[in-house]
Amino acid sequence: MSNAGECPSSLVMERVFPHSPEKLWRALTESPLLAQWMMNNDFEPVVGKKFQFRADPAPNWNGIVDCEVLVVEPMQRLSYNWGVGGSESGLQWKVEWTLTAANGGTHVRMEQSGFRPDQQQAYGGAKWGWQRFFGNLENVLGGVK
């Protein structure tokens, strides 16, 4: 797994940019700017806002990501659901951005985690969940490449 030290049920990417948190926040939350590096979108930084990212269709994917804004804490934290393949039968993740000022720049952390939130709750008290599943994935795979 590529994300050493992290629970492998989530994917984490971090980078320090030599730019202010204010600038990062604009790039993350102003729709036309967001379109320049992520995908076309109708994003608005409003909790509860449903929006889409739209890319060119690919095999097994119609190019649409259905999202809903979950958290907006200016200059600090932004998160949204990330749904692929329709709300009923599709796959659902959460994407969370965390900004921290660092030496005149900004440390940016992106975490893509979880599956459907209802299932996250459902497995809370269950014998084991995704976390353990992914934790065991490498064992389970054994020599499989």
Partner 1 sequence: MKPANPNSVFRALSDPTRRTIFEELTRQGEQTVHALTRYAGVSQPAVSKHLTILKRARLVRHRRVGRETHYRAQPEALAPMVDWLKLYGAFWRERFDRLEALLERMEP
Is the Cβ of residue 14 or residue 48 nearer to partner 1 in the bound state? 14
Nearest to 54 by CA among 66, 42, 64, 43: 64
| Helix, strand or coil, per DSSP, at residue 62 | coil
Binding to partner 1, residues 16-75 (CB under 8 A)? 17, 19-20, 23-24, 26-27, 33, 36-38, 60
Applying CB under 8 A, which part among 43-51, 67-75, 83-91 lies near partner 1? 83-91
Total of residues contacting partner 1 (CB under 8 A): 42
- C-beta separation of 52 from 66 below 8 A: yes
> Using the rule CB under 8 A, is 129 a contact of partner 1?
yes
Question: How many angstroms separate the CA atoms of 74 and 82, rounded?
Answer: 20
Minimum CB separation from partner 1 for residue 140, in Å? 5
- Output DSSP code: residue 101: E
Is the Cβ of residue 48 or residue 124 nearer to partner 1 in the bound state? 124
Sign of CA dihedral 57, 62, 68, 71: negative
Nearest to 78 by CA among 30, 19, 138, 16: 30
Residues that bind partner 1 (CB under 8 A): 1-2, 8, 11, 13, 15, 17, 19-20, 23-24, 26-27, 33, 36-38, 60, 85, 89-91, 108, 110, 112, 115-116, 119, 122-123, 126-130, 133, 136-137, 140-142, 144
